[in-house]
Chain A
Amino acid sequence: MSVENSGGFALRVEGLRVAYPKGDGEAVVVDDLSFTVPRGRTVAIVGESGSGKSTTLHALLGLNPRAARVDYRALEVRDHSGAVARVDDPRALRGRSVGLVPQDPTRALDPLVRIGKHFAELHRHFLGVTDRDESARRTVAALESVGVSRPALRLRQYPHELSGGLCQRVLIALALVGEPELILADEPTSNLDATAQRQVLDLLDRLRAERGLSVLLVTHDIAVAGERADRLLVLREGRLVESGAARTLLAAPREPYTTRLLTSLPGNLPERPALPADDPARVVLEARGVGKTFGGRTGERVDAVRDVDLTLRRGRTVALVGESGAGKSTLLRLITGLERPDSGTILLDGRHEHTTRAGRAAFARRVQLVYQNPSASLNPALTIDRIVAEPLEAHRIGTRAERARRVRELLDSVELPADVAHRRPPQLSGGQLQRVAIARALALEPDVVVLDEPVSALDQTVQFTLLQLLRRLQDRLAVAYLFVSHDLGVVRAVADEVLVMHGGRVEERGPTRTVFTTPAGPRTRALLDAVPELSAAPPPSPLVRTARR
């Protein structure tokens, strides 16, 4: 192979094609994909679900299922000595040439094996180190280098005793044991809390700089890709849409699809107008000193929610932000009446409470919940019109014909074509399903709609249109939204007021703009730090951490 190229790239792929047999023919998942990962750089593969980005990563390590047919014209890597080697069997790359950092760190470690043993196994296999103390010494050093606190203690811990962020650090350290030249990172942060996300990406950047590694980052988030990568590859339905240097590609995308990805970043939604200090909008729901405790008897008691005050007003959106375990879900279950609070009161219109029968009926009718995953929250066996009509039937509203008319109106208001009415949930896309769920929530003309991560399961372009829809609906119907999200980019675009929760308490609250520009608490700052910043051109160089705001 050409020697003059040897310093140029860590990995070169030409004509990669992955297909699965389907019926008589085959379904092509990745088609004729060629790219190069330069040494010491980060290349990002960006794509929405079904783009073939993860399949590509798997093909590079020969990890695809047996049924898959993987072909490529050329696959070359630079080995430890710096020479370029042609690869016939990608399995040979595993561990020594290419390390993999996975999507869901908490499930990526053998649950029955202590952290130390995970390393000892690799030490024995790659380095021939059989001595326990030697292996332990190396492990501690490796864990230290990826920023794991108290590394000596971790050796004896099991994976379930570590948080997601720590697991991901451990996995990065494990990927580095074979001293690979290239790291493949498969959505490495998608299952992590916002703060851990930034830390893991920073860690990958730092390791790359320190050790001269190359990184191939797969992500659905073009903002993350733009912030971290030197080169971008935009993939759609298995085909390369566009590729180029991150800076130029983001500044001047050539393909309409890339443009759409960029304009659909939640930051591009128009900002909410600032509200006057004493908001004239009528209060519809008020929570005072609400608390809820789980556990008891044998286990430790967990205060899921402690002393939370919350006010929802007509036509306004309050966003609930926090990491997993902060008490967001419990609070929204309390608000919607799916759980009863142990302390405090929740008042609808200043009078109804869950404690009375009439109060419960009022809540069931006037406070509606939209779930995170629409494909699970809609009964797959029923047709769409029956799903949307069900709340009306439950409250015996209207005749059959009136209900049918109302269903048509509702589907129209969420901008769905009328012909979906006779289809069933499995035949619709995720975005369409969430629209159906919203239509159902609006059927009873509620005053409050609680949205539990309503767009987090959707692709970015779909997210964007759905957020726009939610806004239009609010402008028209003047419903109050309680919007739960971990994504601050989304929150900034939709919320009038933000509540930051931590450990069941409200740690910070205020108008969205105030919280975003002058965050008071350290956790709010950490959460904000984790939001990738793209809209302000020119995009920051990945090697230099930009000070934000």
Chain B
Amino acid sequence: MTRSLPVLPAVRRNRRHPTWVAPAVLGLVVLAALLPDLLSTHDPLAENVSRRLSSPSAAHLFGTDELGRDLFSRVVHGTRATLLTALLALLLAFGASVVIGLVAGYLRGAVDRVLMAGVDVLLAVPALLLSLLIVSGLGAGPVNLAVAVGLASVPAFARVTRAEVLRVSSQPFVEAAAGFGVARHRILLRHVLPHARGPITALAALELATMVLSVSTLSFLGYGTQPPTPEWGNLIAGGQDYFRTAWWLTALPGVVLACVVLALHRVGRNLGASEVSLV
């Protein structure tokens, strides 16, 4: 007996009025990741002891850190590390779970049972624990971190993919196609995939939000990109020691991080996923 899962697709086609805010935020983030120099105001690594720990001002939008480095520029330059790691993780999770989900959902039978039994067992293990175990095996570093975060979310993602494939496959129009003799691979390509694709894409947007959170959490714990190279999680971790006096060191990168996550949620929702699958 399999228990129903918390993160099942729950995808509903209720497109609310699409807002420009979320795509705009994401556009800025992508720009920061691709061309950080365009947005940053200072050299992210340039130290200036005379201006250390100064609060946000016109000269330093987000203030400066304990070495006098401009925090805004560090956040801008940190985007790439965070986002790349998260995207790599997503790619890994997406690839593995779409294969597992498609195979299980389409072949059914024994293959499905074996795959899903494994997935179910892994699902009972919290993703953070899985990530930590993988990091402990592979060691720290951004690539290993991406592997850890990506693999840890394969079970949930594979479940959802399979559920989508099953949902579409059980539609009468798929059976009808089989009934008048359409070949299996054609049914999969022409009838099943196009209908499963939308919900899975929406879910990928939400999943990317989760990845950004997980990556920054593990970086915060010290397993990701190592300072002085900036990354959102390690920026916040670095600010932790000073946050009594310099609140901006933790709060402002945190706000940026939360905004990005929210924007990804919004986009995922506009694509048709529901709120529940993201928490």
Contact = CB atoms under 8 A, between A and B. Distances in A.
B174 to A, nearest CB: 8
B179 interface: yes
B109 interface: no
Chain A interface extent, by class: 20 to 34
Contact of A376 (B171, B177, B178, B195): B171
A361 B181 contact: yes
B182 interface: yes
B191 interface: yes
Contacts of A394: 177, 180-183, 186
B182 A390 contact: yes
A364 B176 contact: no
Chain B interface extent, by class: 10 to 19
Given A381-B194, A394-B186, A368 B180 contact: yes
Given A338-B175, A376-B172, A376-B173, A390 B180 contact: yes
Contact of A391 (B181, B183, B191, B194): B181
Contacts of B179: 336-338, 364, 368-369
Name the residue in A336, A373, A390, A441 with the highest tally of chain B Cβ atoms < 10 Å from its Cβ. A390
A424 B178 CA distance: 20
A298 to B, nearest CB: 11
Interface string B183-208: 10010001100110000000000000
Contacts of B186: 394
Nearest to A392: B180
A368 B183 CA distance: 16
A129 interface: no
A336 B180 CA distance: 10
Nearest to A368: B180
> What DSSP secondary structure best describes chain B's contact surface?
helix
Contacts of B176: 369, 371, 377-378, 440
Contacts of A80: none
Contacts of A382: 190
A379 interface: yes
Interface in B148-187: 171-173, 175-183, 186
B180 A378 contact: no
Contacts of B190: 379, 382
B172 A371 contact: yes
A365 interface: yes
Interface in A358-404: 361, 364-365, 368-369, 371, 373, 376-382, 390-391, 393-395
Interface of B: 171-173, 175-183, 186, 190-191, 194-195
20 contacts: A364-B179, A364-B181, A365-B181, A369-B176, A371-B172, A376-B172, A377-B172, A377-B176, A379-B191, A380-B173, A382-B190, A391-B180, A391-B181, A394-B177, A394-B181, A394-B182, A394-B183, A395-B181, A440-B176, A444-B180
